């Protein structure tokens, strides 16, 4: 049995946090699926690297502009992104069918430039959902204040949603309750899928910076612990929100927690920390390529680690306040920075495509 399948047996589905045309055409994604990868996620930063920072799509740009020289850069981008998402969804369709629509998904994000506009986010999500035309697609919507009502509307309409940029328990509870309200309004909630992408390593990065600035022994001992502790508290809240008392009246699926930002950013920490410590029932971990390779090589599966040491997690979060860290402010700021980062990546992609379009049209 592959290590990826061992993780799945312990309750966590591993998804691949990367997409690019050559992975689809060369059979790399199909090989990963055969090894036990059960989904794919994308975001504006990933597409910027794939399309803008390589020559992988240059022939497609030439062909598209040859047919329509006035094609907008956004339409140019979407023609490639939608084609890749469809191809990945088709590769994963067997997982989707075999798992009874629990896994086998690929995610496509609405424009991050719409993160503060509820109505525009809903319209964009509807359009992308229809354009891709695959049941095993999740439309990514940020967990901003404006994103929460959009999530409720989309779920009520039967559109699968991956809620992204969740950093705090407050963010998580708001979108989980929006999902439940959406299911209550849906015509058939039984086949609607959603995941809540809860970010991990970025929490440690910013919290560690605050702890280092404080510099006391008590503060320094808390470094590298906030991300896991925050995630364990989120999982405990998940069990409450989707338990029989709050969710039993619905003929729907619980919105699974998806651990995002699971590549280790601090070289002093284990490069598989955010995989090994976040394994547990009905969860997803979306893993970047270098972390996936590291886990395949030396990662360990030690059962359902997410359900262990909850009291220690509570002590870490309480300890942050005791040493003077405003953890709520850090997680709120992380969401703002996350939206800004994705928006910058999207604008960089549009700028690069504008340049490439100009070069092609100029011959």
pLDDT confidence of residue 69: 85
pLDDT at 135 over 90: yes
Among 237, 245, 216, residue whose Cα is nearest residue 313: 237
Who has greater pLDDT, 225 or 48?
A: 225
pLDDT of residue 85: 97
Residue-level pLDDT at 136: 98
Helix (H) or strand (E) holding 47: helix 44-47
Residue range 201-216, pLDDT digits in tens: 999 999 999 999 999 9
pLDDT on residue 260: 98
Is 80 exceeded by the pLDDT of residue 228?
Answer: yes
SS3 26: coil
- The one catalytic residue in 3, 49, 67, 140 is 140
Q: What is the distance between the alpha carbons of residues 149 and 128, in angstroms, rounded to a whole number?
A: 18
Residue 179 per-residue DSSP state: H
What's residue 1's pLDDT? Answer: 86
Q: What is the pLDDT of residue 53?
A: 78
Q: What is the arithmetic mean of pLDDT over 174-200?
A: 97
* pTM higher than 0.85: yes
Mean pLDDT in residue range 119-139: 98
Does position 112 have pLDDT exceeding 80, yes or no? yes
Output the CA torsion sign for 94, 57, 131, 41.
positive
Residue 245 has pLDDT above 90, yes or no: no
Q: What is the pLDDT of residue 65?
A: 86
- In this predicted structure, what is the pLDDT of residue 91? 98
Q: What pLDDT sits at residue 68?
A: 87
Question: Per-residue pLDDT for 246 more than 90?
Answer: no
Structural domains of the chain sorted by starting position, each given as residue range(s) with its CATH number in brackets:
3-361 (3.20.20.70)
Average pLDDT over residues 274-282: 98
Average pLDDT over residues 267-282: 97
Per-residue pLDDT reduced to its tens digit, 63-94: 888 888 888 989 999 998 999 999 999 999 99
Least-confidence region, from 134-143, 223-232, 344-353: 344-353
pLDDT at 353: 87
Share of the chain above pLDDT 70, in %: 100
Is 140 assigned a catalytic role? yes
Could you tell me how many residues make up the chain? 363
pLDDT at 43: 87
Residue 320 makes CB contacts below 8 A (sequence gap 6+) with 207, 211, 222, 226, 327
- Mean per-residue pLDDT over the chain, rounded: 95
Alpha-carbon distance of 115 to 98, in angstroms, equals 34
Q: What is the mean pLDDT of residues 255-269?
A: 97
Q: What is the pLDDT of residue 105?
A: 98
- Choose among 244, 235, 250: nearest CA to 281: 235
Helices (H) and strands (E) in the chain, counts: 17, 8
Q: What is d(CA 254, CA 252) in angstroms, rounded to the nearest whole number?
A: 7
Going 331 to 336 to 337 to 338, the CA torsion angle's sign is: positive
Give me 114's structure tokens: 């719409």
In tens, the pLDDT along 295-351 reads 999 999 999 999 999 999 999 999 999 999 999 999 999 999 999 999 999 999 899
Q: What's the N-to-C CA distance of the chain in angstroms? A: 53
The pairing of strands 39-40 and 194-199 is unpaired
Q: For residue 61, what pLDDT band results from cuts at 50, 70 and 90?
A: confident
Question: Which H or E element spans position 220?
Answer: helix 217-220
Report the alpha-carbon distance of residue 355 to residue 65 in Å, rounded: 13
Q: Summarize pLDDT for 1-45 with one digit per residue, the tens.
A: 899 999 999 999 999 999 999 999 999 999 999 999 999 999 888
Task: Give burial (CB, 10 Å; 0-12/13-18/19+) of 212.
Answer: exposed
Residue 225 has pLDDT above 80, yes or no: yes
Instruction: Report which listed range, 49-53, 55-59, 268-272, is most confident.
Output: 268-272
Asked if 27 and 21 touch (Cβ cutoff 8 Å), the reply is no
Rounded to an integer, what distance in angstroms lies between the CA atom of residue 174 and that of residue 166?
A: 10
For residue 363, pLDDT beyond 80:
no
CA-atom Rg of the chain in angstroms = 20
């Amino acid at each position: 049995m592959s290590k990826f399948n061992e993780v799945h047996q312990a309750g966590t589905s591993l998804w691949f946090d990367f997409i690019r045309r050559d992975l689809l055409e060369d059979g790399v994604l199909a090989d990963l699926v055969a090894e036990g990868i059960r989904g794919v996620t994308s975001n504006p930063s990933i597409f910027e690297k794939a399309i803008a920072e390589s020559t992988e799509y240059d022939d497609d740009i030439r062909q598209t502009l040859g047919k329509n020289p006035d094609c907008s850069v956004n339409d140019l981008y979407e023609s490639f992104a939608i084609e890749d998402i469809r191809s990945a969804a088709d590769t994963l369709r067997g997982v989707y069918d075999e798992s009874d629509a629990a896994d086998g998904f690929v995610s496509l994000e609405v424009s991050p430039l719409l993160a503060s506009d509820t109505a525009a986010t809903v319209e964009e999500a509807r359009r992308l959902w229809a354009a891709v035309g695959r049941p095993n697609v999740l439309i990514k919507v940020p967990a901003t204040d404006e994103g929460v009502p959009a999530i409720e509307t989309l779920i009520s309409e039967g559109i699968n949603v991956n809620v992204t940029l969740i950093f705090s328990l407050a963010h998580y509870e708001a979108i989980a309750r929006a999902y439940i309200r959406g299911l209550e309004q849906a015509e058939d909630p039984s086949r609607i899928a959603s995941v809540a992408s809860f970010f991990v390593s970025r929490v440690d990065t910013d919290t560690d910076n605050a702890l280092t600035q404080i510099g006391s022994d008590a503060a320094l001992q808390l470094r590298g612990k906030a991300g896991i502790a925050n995630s364990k508290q989120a999982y405990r809240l998940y069990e409450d929100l989707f338990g029989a008392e709050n969710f039993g009246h619905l003929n729907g699926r619980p919105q699974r927690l998806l651990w995002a930002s699971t590549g280790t950013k601090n070289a002093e920490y284990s490069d598989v920390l955010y995989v090994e410590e976040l394994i547990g029932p009905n969860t997803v971990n979306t893993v970047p390529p270098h972390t996936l390779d590291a886990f395949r090589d030396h990662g360990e599966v030690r059962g359902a680690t997410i359900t262990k040491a909850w009291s220690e997690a509570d002590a870490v979060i309480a300890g942050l306040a005791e040493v003077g860290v405003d953890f709520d402010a850090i997680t709120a700021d992380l969401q703002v920075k996350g939206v800004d980062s994705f928006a910058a990546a999207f604008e960089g992609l549009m700028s690069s495509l504008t340049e490439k379009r100009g070069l092609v049209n100029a011959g």
